[in-house]
Amino acid sequence: MPRPTRLIRRHGRFTLDRDTAIRATPGAEGAARLLRALLRPSTGLPLPLHEDGRVVFALDDRLVGLGDEGYALTVNEHAVVLRAATRHGLAHGVQTIRQLLSPRALGSRPVSGVDWTLPGVDVRDAPRLPWRGVLLDVARHFQPVAVLRRFVDLMAVHKLNVLHLHLTDDQGWRMPVPRHPKLTSVGAWRAESMGDGVPHGGSYTRAELTALVSYADERGVRIVPEIEMPGHARAALAAYPELGNFPRRRLPVWTGWGISDAVFGVHDAVLEFCRDVLDEVVEVFPGPHVHLGGDECPTVEWESSPGAARRVRREGLAGPHELHGWFLRAMADHVVERGRVPVSWEPIGDPRAIVMPWRDAADARTAMDLGHDVVMTPHRSTYLDYPQSADPDEPAGQPGLVVTSHDVYHLPLPAGVLGAQCALWTEYVPTARHLERLAYPRLAALADTLWAQRPSWTDFTERMRAHTGRLSALSVPLPRKEDDARSPVPPC
């Protein structure tokens, strides 16, 4: 899971044992270390590097037709050979090796009395779409970095390759910025959540985020950071009131859900502040994309702000409603100057920005007609904060919709889009266990439909019988009907 492009079963089997060693060509050592780290907790196998190893990992730029993430894997009774053109391709191949073993190989505790045997196969595999992502909202409910690492591990099992971190919002600011320390000392903490009387907060250190980037990269996952602007800014305004439209006003970090009317002002100091923040973001997150947010920005404060009126006149805008696009275009310019690609939730009048249409799938065509690259995120089929069934034991979620695995699998994918991602907003998700319960098996559905060359819901549901056993071995909490359907049948 996801379904390989081509898998041919061959005669023979290869057994990993205490004498098995890995031979890695230059540049492939990281994949060897990854396989060893992933298998050792359950198997206890040392899998050392050795020039005579019968498990061979090789970077091979002569592979044709497999792109940046594809790989070729051959297993017979004599050897295991994994080749790819890039480190990320090798990382995906490592996950396939894991899935070819008994599901118990994916566990975190030692298992005895098991032959760790791989079936003879020839695999050539590459994804259908390059963007296969998940948004994780750590602003509404903070999640420690250990939770993020496990989330990355589970993504990597499914060959999902983009973790979109929603780092700031009205209810909390999680990204440290040295020039503006109150963002985390003040903006990362709220007094309560929806009247529960329980303080909540937390933030990451730069070292934690830098290490997370490396950890994810080793597993074929890149991180897209999101800093919300010019709306969803209440936490930043609590830290620095002078960034608002009414600088003398004092606001706490917001304790409710929804959309606050408090948005950034449009004076020069605000633009300089946002540039400072984005400069820190591109230092910490080396990937090509920076998300600027840009959705759900009320204009009521701009309509009554003298500073906003002056900005409208100065820029020759038609009115306060045009400040939203003007603001985001200014920040997109800064991101581009720093060598990155801006991302936004809606078109901002700059075709250099990637757009993630979330209100309606039909908005994708509008964005593409305006020259934007598009990543599909329609809420009716990708928002995982909605419950995945109407069952009474379903954990609490965003009211109003049910989004099933079937909905995710059949999300709209117009020709020409980069891919798609699901979103896990966390207003109703306080714990890591709750997070994973909402994520799976729906993220397995996303992974399969975006990777497989010819997605088939019927085929996916059949393969989920074995894959549920893997999720169980990984200690992923599943809906009861999924857990009851767990199959002891080996995965291959």
The domain spans of the chain are 6-125, 131-472
Q: Which fold has domain 131-472?
A: TIM Barrel (3.20.20)
**Cβ-contact 328, 336 below 8 angstroms:** no
**Which residues sit opposite 131 in a β-bridge?**
419
Q: Residue 485: pLDDT above 80?
A: no
- Tell me the backbone φ, ψ of residue 56, rounded to 5 degrees: -115, 125
Q: Residue 482: pLDDT above 80?
A: no
**Cβ-contact 239, 187 below 8 angstroms:** yes
The question of whether 272 is a catalytic residue gets the answer no
pLDDT bin (cut points 50, 70, 90) of residue 64 is confident
Exposure b/e, 117-146, CB count within 10 A at least 16 = b: ebbbbebbbbbbbebbbbbbbbbbbbbebe
Mean model confidence pLDDT for the chain: 95
Give the pLDDT confidence score for residue 393 in this predicted structure. Answer: 82
Q: Residue 58: pLDDT above 80?
A: yes
* Whether the predicted model's global pTM rises above the 0.85 cut: yes
As given in the structure block, the two tokens for residue 98 are 């894991």
Give the pLDDT confidence score for residue 489 in this predicted structure. Answer: 32
Q: Is the CATH number 3.30.379.10 carried by domain 6-125?
A: yes
Residue of 208, 296, 322, 394 with catalytic role: 296
What is the average per-residue pLDDT within 54-80? Answer: 96
